């Protein structure tokens, strides 16, 4: 069968390759046929060995990457009683669990949620991994559909995959939103529901941001500090302040120091930052993606609503995926670009 495989770990190059089809699914697994997928920033990094001591898998399918999919169930393991062959599903898998860039792949039940006809293939192809991260970041900030109304929320990196999905969720939940994005993506974040937009290259506008909760999804780069905008919260005295970051040093520490040394180092940094923030009255959290079928089902239902703005900015055939994956500039923003199997 066709799959996209990392053929060179030094360069992280992805290529289409013929590999044997996976075995029948194990008891807790589901066997899936790919309909569409997307690229997440972690994939090209993991392809080059980033986080390898923690994330490297062994056995069949170990070189298949890819975090997202919309797929069709082919077969279920003996222990899976609530899914059946032919069902369309939303998929999100961590690098540690398995990959989706193959015509047929097996994943644990926890990576899969059934979807109904009203969720489009294109939206589902890019929703899972970034969507769960967005939902888990909102939860880490203490936000939910029940309590978000009127809260002042700022999303840094609002035009990316995680940011776009978090923006749509929080807007529907009633939060008041400031979206930070590059100038070219200001219209995108406005269309998703931002009340205010700020260009991160405008220092005066950045310094004037008025928010009690900050979600940082900005891709790390040399043009911004590790906890951008945390100083905005430190200068305030309002209750319920929270700062949540998805760009943290866990995987880079593990890459440099191995699992034990890396987790100890990053755990130490995290505790120090969390305690310092707590002393200032701020809830400070790092988010690490976790598989969660129940949250996937929530996202599937939420984005099936025809009034929900689309988070997909680009749809290409699956054969285009390696070129975009191998492009050092990464997938173009905003939102999610998706890659669809033709004729499924």
Ligand X SMILES: NC(=O)c1ccc[n+]([C@@H]2O[C@H](COP(=O)([O-])OP(=O)(O)OC[C@H]3O[C@@H](n4cnc5c(N)ncnc54)[C@H](OP(=O)(O)O)[C@@H]3O)[C@@H](O)[C@H]2O)c1
Q: Does 219 bind ligand X (CB under 6 A)?
A: yes
> Which is closer to ligand X, CB of 16 or CB of 49?
49
**197 lines the binding site for ligand X (CB under 6 A):** no
Write down the least CB distance from residue 56 to ligand X, Å: 17
Establish if 128 lies at the interface with ligand X (CB under 6 A). no
CA nearest to 150, candidates 228, 213, 244? 213
Least Cα distance to 341 among 36, 5, 122 occurs for 36
Q: Which of 140, 218, 277, 340 binds ligand X (CB under 6 A)?
A: 218
DSSP conformation letters of 95-142: TTT----BSEEEEEGGGEEE--TTS-HHHHHHHHHHHHHHHHHHHHTT
Q: Does 41 bind ligand X (CB under 6 A)?
A: yes
- Residue of 27, 195, 288, 327 that binds ligand X (CB under 6 A): 288
Minimum separation from the CB atom of position 200 to ligand X (A): 4
Q: Which stretch binds ligand X (CB under 6 A): 39-47, 57-65, 73-81, 116-124?
A: 39-47
Q: Where are the beta strands (DSSP E) in the chain?
A: 2-8, 13-18, 29-38, 68-76, 88-92, 104-108, 112-114, 152-156, 176-181, 196-199, 213-216, 242-245, 283-286, 312-317, 336-340
Q: Which has the closest alpha carbon to 273: 203, 220, 225, 209?
A: 225
337 and 123 in contact (C-beta within 8 Å)? no
Report the nearest approach of ligand X to the CB of residue 237 (Å): 25
User: Nearest residue by C-beta to ligand X?
Assistant: 160
* Binder among 10, 203, 222, 223 for ligand X (CB under 6 A): 223
Query: Which residue do the tokens 């001591």 mark?
Result: 53
Q: How far is the CB of 38 from ligand X (least distance, A)?
A: 9
State in angstroms the smallest separation of the CB of 32 from ligand X.
21
Question: Residue 127: what are its φ and ψ, rounded to 5°?
Answer: -90, -35
Q: Is 207 in the site for ligand X (CB under 6 A)?
A: no
Calculate ∠ Cα 286-168-273, nearest 5°. Answer: 15
Q: Is 260 helix (H, G, I), strand (E, B) or coil?
A: helix
Segment contacting ligand X by CB under 6 A, of 7-15, 160-168, 253-261, 315-323: 160-168
For position 159 contacting ligand X by CB under 6 A, the verdict is yes
Instruction: Supply the minimum distance, in Å, between the C-beta of residue 88 and ligand X.
Output: 23
Footprint on residues 47-86 left by ligand X (CB under 6 A): none
Q: Exposed, middle or buried: residue 231 (CB in 10 Å: 0-12, 13-18, 19+)?
A: exposed
- Whichever of 250 and 282 has its CB closer to ligand X, that residue is 250
Cis bond upstream, residue 95 (ω within 30)? no
Nearer to ligand X, 83 or 250 (CB): 250
User: Smallest distance, Å, CB 128 to ligand X?
Assistant: 11
Binding of ligand X by 227 (CB under 6 A)? no
Quote the crossing angle between the two packed helices 161-173 and 121-140, to the nearest 10°.
70
Minimum CB distance to ligand X, residue 130 (Å): 5
Q: How far is the CB of 82 from ligand X (least distance, A)?
A: 27
Task: Identify the residue among 182, 265, 292, 308 touching ligand X (CB under 6 A).
Answer: 182
Pairing of strands 213-216, 112-114: unpaired
Chain residues binding ligand X by CB under 6 A are 40-42, 130, 133, 156-157, 159-163, 180-182, 185, 200, 217-221, 223-224, 246-247, 287-289, 333
């Amino acid at each position: 069968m066709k799959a996209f495989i990392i053929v060179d770990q030094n360069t992280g190059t992805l290529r289409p390759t013929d590999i044997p089809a996976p075995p029948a699914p194990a008891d807790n697994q589901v066997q899936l046929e790919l309909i569409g997928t997307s690229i997440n920033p972690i994939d090209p990094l993991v392809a080059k060995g980033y986080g390898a001591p923690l994330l490297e898998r062994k056995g069949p399918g170990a070189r298949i990457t890819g975090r997202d999919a919309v797929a069709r169930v082919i077969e279920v393991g003996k222990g899976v009683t609530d899914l059946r062959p032919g069902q369309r599903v939303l998929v999100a898998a961590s690098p540690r669990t398995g990959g989706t860039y193959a015509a047929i792949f097996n994943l644990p039940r926890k990576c899969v949620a059934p979807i109904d006809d009203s969720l489009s293939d294109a939206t589902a192809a890019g929703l899972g991994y970034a969507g769960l991260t967005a939902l888990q970041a909102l939860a880490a900030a203490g936000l939910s559909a029940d309590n978000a109304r009127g809260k002042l929320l700022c999303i840094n990196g609002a035009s990316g995959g995680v940011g776009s999905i978090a923006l749509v969720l929080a807007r529907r939940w009633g939060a008041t939103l400031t979206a930070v994005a590059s100038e070219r993506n200001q219209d995108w974040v406005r269309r998703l529901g931002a009340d205010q937009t700020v260009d991160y290259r405008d220092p005066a506008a950045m310094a004037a941001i008025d928010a009690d909760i900050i979600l940082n999804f900005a891709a790390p780069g040399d043009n911004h500090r590790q906890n951008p905008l945390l100083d905005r919260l430190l200068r305030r005295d309002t209750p319920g302040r929270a700062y949540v970051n998805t760009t943290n040093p866990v995987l880079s520490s593990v890459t440099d120091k191995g699992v034990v040394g890396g987790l100890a180092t990053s755990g130490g940094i995290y505790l120090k930052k969390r305690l310092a923030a707590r002393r200032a009255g701020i809830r400070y959290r790092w988010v690490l993606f976790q598989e969660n079928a129940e949250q996937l089902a929530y996202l599937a239902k939420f984005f099936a609503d025809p009034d929900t703005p689309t988070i997909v900015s680009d749809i290409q055939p699956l054969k285009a995926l390696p070129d975009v994956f191998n492009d050092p500039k990464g997938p173009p923003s905003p939102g999610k670009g998706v890659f669809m199997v033709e004729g499924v």
